[in-house]
Every structure is written in structure tokens, then in C-alpha cells.
Amino acid sequence: MLSKVPHEIVASILAATTAFVGGNALHLPPWAIFIAWAGTYLAGGPHLAVMKRLWAAMPVGSTYALIIVLLDQRIGTSLGTSTIAQDTVLALIILVVNSALMYTGRVKVFSLIPGMFFGFASFFATFFGGFGWDTSNPWVAWIAVIAMNALGPVYAWLAEWLVKPRHAEAAVPDSTATAETA
């Protein structure tokens, strides 16, 4: 059996690749991979069942966050333009939409509520952090964060797969061996 590469090295190499995934013309949020990668381990590790639950839950959270931003853009000044008026409207939007998010967690396929909040928080960080190819467009942020969060469980699976010990091929007989040494 070949020695396995330490997990710390494999994870670091994979982490380095996120610079290329995010650091391109699309200006994608590479940290969204890390959130979902860590979330994969928190949810039980990179097993297909866990990954499916995250892939179902994270986009739901991002979608509810998108709804909050869209509603705030549409009705955020309905009580006035003062900070307190806008914050009041935003608080009411969050109260209603977050309640709907939490109730969505009762649906079995979306029941990984922390996964929904990984997507929820990732969307806000993507949109308000100015990521995506059109930083003023919440739909662009939504697409970008869903794509990057989806890669997190893949990175977790790759990390585990790459650290598994590999079996060497059957040893090839040494042609220099002689009858006396055999």
C-alpha cells in the first residue's frame, strides 16, 4: 500500500484551486465553497446522502435571501427614506421571509436547516460583498452563490477521496535476482 498524502496537504492544495475558480472574469465568491465544504463535515461528512441534503437546502436558503433583497429593493422605502423607516421595513420583510424559510425546513427534502442558512448567509455575503459578473444584480449573485456553494460538498468529497491510501501494483520481480539469492 502506498502512503497516503496528509489531509492537511490535500485540503490546502484544493483550497488553493479556489483562487482559480473564483478569481476569474465572473468574480465568483470562492469563500462560498469553504462554507459548504465545512458544512459538509458538520452534516456528517462527504457521503452522497449528506451532499444531496446540502445541495437541496443551500439553494433554498439563497432563494429566500434573494426574496428579501428583491422585496427590500421594491418596498424598502414605503415607510419613508429615513434609516429607521427603512430598517423597520427590512425587519418586517426579514420576519416574514425568515419565518417562511424556517417552515420550509419542515419539508423533509429541505430539513437540513443549517444548510439553508449556509445558502442564506452566502447569498447576502455574495450580493453585498460585490461578487458576480454584475455586482448590482441580485439574480447574478443568486446564480453565483448557488454554483459556488454546490462545489463545497464536491471539494469535501475530493479531499476524502484524495487522502485514501492507494494500493501499489503487484511488485514486479527484480530481474537482477539470481538463483542463489532466490
Domains of the chain, residue spans: 27-162
pTM for the model stands at 0.86
Q: What is the pLDDT along the chain (182 residues), one digit of tens a residue?
A: 556 789 999 999 999 999 998 888 889 999 999 999 999 999 999 999 999 999 999 999 999 999 999 999 999 999 999 999 999 999 999 999 999 999 999 999 999 999 999 999 999 999 999 999 999 999 999 999 999 999 999 999 999 999 987 665 545 555 555 555 54
**CA neighbor of 143 nearest in space, from 12, 38, 29:** 29
Helix (H) or strand (E) holding 6: none
